[in-house]
Structure 1
Amino acid sequence: MIIEDIKVGRITVPLKKPFKTKHGVYNFSNEVVVKIYTSNGILGIGSAAPAPRVTGETESSIVGAIKHIAENIKGLDLTCFQYVLKVMDECIRGNNSAKAAVEIAIYDLWSKHLGVPLYKLLGGFNSSIVTDMTIMDDAKMENMVNAAYEATREGYTHIKIKLGNNIDSDFEKVKFIRRAIPKGVKIRVDGNQGWTPKEAVRLIKKMEQLDLDIEFVEQPVKAWDVQGLRFIKDNVDTMIVADESVFGSPEAFRVIQDRACDLINIKLMKCGGIQNATKIYNMADTMGIRCMVGCMLESKIGITAAASFAASKGNMIIADLDTIIYFADDPIVGGVTFEGNRIMLPEEPGLGIKEIRGWEEIL
């Protein structure tokens, strides 16, 4: 199974409503999509979501990196699976989203070659996972409260609230959302690197004192501030999640060694793909730290790959893979399906993706 050709294109998908983050407002999802063609006629598909403020990669840099990777792996035999991945990883430094896109396509090819779904190739612990629903930060608190209430009416049992702009208003938002939704629904708080360690401890303790039933607080401090992360973990009862503090396995080793978090949020676009995600998971699992799987603003290609990884492992908490719910149209035929808050993995070989509508070739 020789790699004969690699083509790169893009898909642009409009969103139902603007997707607001701390760093901007997005009306479209732009994604780089890779197609790898092999000598035995099998096609592998992968994708990368540009997130320059998180991974440092733009569409142009991703395309350029994939072009370089393609020059190094064309002609290689995919039955030498680990060798191909090693060449891909070592031929260029960094560029994790670009590597993730190529690697997802390689894993898609390999599982198709073996005739099994990707989630089974990776371990097959579950055939479905549960995702939370993200509530975007909004200056108008009532918009966030209404969004959280509607999510619970749609069956979501876990709500993730994006915060990190102002510690006082952040507390009020969590408090009013808690009052508006059923008591059994878990709340997750994403600080988006927005607080100092002392601010975070003060805020979390206030939430604990009011019994707001917060499942965890994600990345309350700057990504580089691992000691601050540990300070928070050691001074509150609520679980603390490392997200931007962990890109690859070296960062994961550091936060695990420093006992700086209770959970690690693994994203394929951050760490460079499934193999590096597995390294992070195995380290965390060995040390009794649970993991969750998150995503960027990704199409069903990336979500299927991430969900396949999450479903394959036993030491996962509920995932954060809800972004395709925001899409006004789904150009991906096949892949995962949603049943309320549950993501069902496909039983077809690989990612189970049959067609990509609107794919525009770049190179």
Structure 2
Amino acid sequence: MKIAAIRIGKVSIPLKKPFKTALRQVHSAEDIIIKMIADTGETGFGNAPPTAVITGDSQDSIIAAIRDTIGPKLIGMDVDNLEGIMTTIDAAMLHNSSAKAALDIAVYDLFGKRHGIPLYKLLGGYRQGITTDLTISINAPEEMVADSLAAVAAGYTELKLKVGTEAALDIQRVQAIRAAVGQDVKIRLDANQGWSPKEAVRTIRKFEDMGLGIELIEQPVPAHDFAGLKYVTDQVETDIMADESAFGAYEVFQLLAMRACDLINIKLMKAGGLHNAVKIAHLAETMGIQCMMGCMLESKVGITAAASLAAGKKIISTADLDAAVLLAEDPVIGGVSFSKNQLSISDAPGLGITDVQGWQEIQ
């Protein structure tokens, strides 16, 4: 089975309500979805959401990287030569991790279909289902309380609260939500780089002194500030997770060597796809550091790939794979299925995806 063609398209999917973080506000998912066609007629699907404030990738840059630079180098390559294909993708150009991830996912999808094996088994097969949290966008405390109560009523037992715009208000938000949902619901916080190191320490210590029972706090300081992240990790009792700092395998190696964090958030769009995400998981496992599988605002194509890795690897013990749930529509036929906070992986080969409705090809 050889790669014969790569077709690039897009889908626009409205969100149920605006997605707000300390970095951005989004009203619809604008995903690039590729179809990698094999000479046997099989199709591998991959996707890349433009997330310029995190990855630096725009819709136009993703399209250009796939169409003009990386994609042409893959035509004619044998799908069984995974190592050669991934080396070619990585070496084709610097950065552009989202474009690389889209191609990587499509190759793995074809490989699974070529050998009749679901992706989660190819990646380790540790479990077939995982639990995800639900993200609560940053808003006024009363709106976040209402959203949190609705999530718990819908069956979610783990909430990821977006914070990071103003420390004093963040404390009010978290305090109000904990009082509303009770002690049995796990609460995670994501500051999206919103605090300075000292501000983060002061705020987290207040959470601890108030007994709010925060499970973990994600990326409290700017991504480049590894020393600041280590300072926070060393000064508080609450587990600190690296997200934007933990971009790829090299950055994760640095973080682990410095003991700058307690946990790692793996995202395919940061890592450049599954093959690099596996490297991150293995680095973390070597150091005894648990991982979360996270996502951007992507369609069920990317969520299925991420869920397959999370299901495959024991070291990935938590998941934030709710992006498809936040969308008002699901144009993807097949792939991972949702039941409240549970994600179930199909035993169909590859990603188990057969079509994407509303896909508009880009020439």
Partner of 1:39: 39
Alpha-carbon distance in 1 for matches of 2:147, 2:2? 49
Q: Which amino acid aligns with 1:98?
A: A
* 1:297-317 alpha-carbon deviations (Å, 9 max, x no partner): 010000000000111000122
Give the letter for the 2:88 counterpart: V
Distance 1:353 1:266 in 2: 23
Q: Which residue of 1 aligns with 2:18?
A: 18
Q: Which residue of 1 aligns with 2:244?
A: 244
Q: Per-residue deviation at 1:22?
A: 2.5
Task: Give the CA deviation at 1:85.
Answer: 1.3
Contact 2:22–2:194 (Cα < 8 Å) also in 1: no
Q: Is the contact made by 2:265 and 2:293 (CA closer than 8 Å) also made in structure 1?
A: yes
Residue type matched to 2:245 in 1?
Answer: S
- The alpha carbon displacement at 1:86 in A equals 0.9
For residues 161 and 98 of structure 1, the distance between their equivalents in structure 2, rounded to whole angstroms, comes to: 29
Cα offset, 1:48, TM superposition: 0.3
SS at match of 1:318: strand
Aligned to 1:328: 328
- Aligned-pair CA distance for 1:150: 1.2
SS in 2 for 1:200: helix
Q: Does 1:122 pair with 2:123?
A: yes
User: CA separation in 1, counterparts of 2:308 and 2:181?
Assistant: 30
**Per-residue deviation, 1:182:** 2.5
Distance 2:312 2:35 in 1: 24
Matched ranges for 1:205-354 at <5 A: 205-354=205-354
For residues 292 and 317 of structure 2, the distance between their equivalents in structure 1, rounded to whole angstroms, comes to: 5
- Tell me whether 1:73 sits opposite 2:49 in the alignment: no
* 1:189 Cα deviation from its structure 2 partner: 0.7
User: Is the contact made by 2:47 and 2:101 (CA closer than 8 Å) also made in structure 1?
Assistant: yes
Report the Cα distance in structure 2 between the residues aligned to 1:309 and 1:184, rounded to whole angstroms. 28
TM-score by length of 2: 0.98
Identity of matched residues, %: 48
Q: Does the 8 A contact of 2:22 with 2:191 survive in 1?
A: no
Q: Deviations over 1:22-66 (max 9, x none)?
A: 233322110001111111221111000000110001011000100
Q: Deviations for 1:156-207, whole angstroms, at most 9, x for unmatched residues?
A: 1111110001110101111111000031111001111111111111111111
Contact map agreement 2:21 2:192 (CA 8 A) in 1: no
C-alpha displacement of 1:254: 0.6
CA distance in structure 1 between the partners assigned to 2:266 and 2:292 by the alignment: 6
Aligned to 1:111: 112
SS in 1 for 2:319: coil
The Cα shift of 1:261 comes to 0.3
Q: State the match for 1:91 in structure 2.
A: 92
Q: Distance in 2 between matches of 1:258 and 1:327?
A: 38
Which position in structure 1 is the counterpart of 2:4? 4
Classify the secondary structure of the residue corresponding to 2:317: coil
Distance of 1:42 and 1:355 partners within structure 2: 12
1:79 is displaced (CA, Å) by 1.8
Aligned Cα root-mean-square deviation (Å): 0.9
* Corresponding residue of 1:50: 50
Once the two structures are TM-superposed, the CA of residue 233 in structure 1 deviates from its matched residue by: 0.8
Q: Kindly provide the CA deviation profile for residues 265-288 of structure 1, in whole angstroms up to 9, marking residues without a partner as x.
A: 010001100011011110111001
The one-letter code of the counterpart of 1:116 is I
Q: Equivalences for 1:162-181 in 2 at 5 Å?
A: 162-181=162-181
In structure 1, what is the equivalent of residue 136 of structure 2? 135
